[in-house]
Amino acid sequence: MLTEHKIKELEQKANDIRCSIIESLVATKTDKYSASGHTGGPLGMADIFTFWFFHVLKHDPKNPDWPDRDRVVLSNGHICPVYYATMAHAGYFPVEELKTLRHFGSRLQGHPHREYMPWLETSSGPLGSGLSQSVGMALAEKIDHGMSTDKYIYCFMSDGELDEGNSWEGIMLAGKYRLRNLIAIIDRNNIQIEGFTENIMPLEPLADKWRAFNWHVIEVSGHDFQALNEAVNEAKGVFEKPTVIIAHTIPGKGVSFMERDYKWHGKPPSKEEAEKALAELKAHRPI
């Protein structure tokens, strides 16, 4: 059940995670090195990651290797600040560790690395590879347990990585094998590092393309918890094909001077910008 009280809790948690994202990004600056990292995508996906880790996922931070857990694959590894922040708030590691993002010797590198953080399902970085990894996991689960499996593989993707041909190879294979336990979530924020997706390599009609590859398609706001809940319930009710949730998000969500500006795709905030962003986020805490 997703009650109004639970929605308020999720909104508060997402706000806290956005604050942690800003704090971790500004902390990448050291005496020797300038700040680095991605801002727009992580802020835009904070609601989705919050919803999954605090409402949807079958997982146990105290037992991350639990065999019956759902699997999370982050294909667009550059948005790892939101992945790390959400996992820290969920109890996988201390929140204070987030301020070691991208530091030498830190477990929190600029792209997720399973060798450093064994509770991650995969390492990620090369765009387009995450879906193929997820297809392999879903196919293995289907071989082991058949159509009755209740273990889901969730693959989080960017819209820009759909420029990669290997994304469509994975999409085609998943459709062929009718992998009902695979749910892809696309961050449809319409930006990539050089500009807007529809100017660089148009993706529309995106939903029709996925349907043509035998996927069930759901389009939803990535900032509406009730709509996300309905989307997940619908996806789990589809038994004859995999599902993709096209989540329309606002890059830089929650910080007015970052929202919808593609220049924040791969740009971290300065100390002054971080202070301004944190003040804005804390002024709009939902509770």
Percentage of residues of the chain with pLDDT beyond 90: 90
pLDDT of residue 287: 59
Q: Is omega for the bond preceding 205 within 30 degrees of 0, making it cis?
A: yes
Which helix (H) or strand (E) covers residue 182, if one does? strand 182-188
- CATH assignment of the domain containing 121: 3.40.50.970
Print the domain residue range for 53: 4-283
What's the residue count for the chain?
A: 287
pTM of the predicted model, to two decimals? Answer: 0.96
Q: Give me the sign of the Cα torsion angle 162, 219, 43, 116.
A: negative
pLDDT of residue 286: 64
Q: Tell me the Cα Rg of the chain.
A: 18
Q: Determine contact, residues 10/50, Cβ cutoff 8 Å.
A: yes
Mean pLDDT, to the nearest integer, of 8-28? Answer: 97
Which helix (H) or strand (E) covers residue 19, if one does? helix 4-26
* 14 pLDDT higher than 70: yes
Query: What is the C-alpha to C-alpha distance for residues 142 and 181, in angstroms, rounded to an integer?
Result: 8
Q: Reduced to 3 states, what is the DSSP secondary structure of residue 184? A: strand
Query: What is the C-alpha to C-alpha distance for residues 191 and 263, in angstroms, rounded to an integer?
Result: 9
Query: What is the C-alpha to C-alpha distance for residues 55 and 210, in angstroms, rounded to an integer?
Result: 26
Q: Determine contact, residues 159/187, Cβ cutoff 8 Å.
A: yes
Give the closest residue to 102 by CA, choosing from 126, 84, 120.
84
237-259 pLDDT, tens per residue?
Answer: 999 999 999 999 999 999 999 99
126-175 pLDDT, tens per residue?
Answer: 898 999 999 999 999 999 987 777 899 999 999 999 999 999 999 999 99
Domain count, the chain: 1
Residues 6+ apart with CB under 8 A from 190: 159, 196, 197, 198, 251
* 205 pLDDT higher than 90: yes
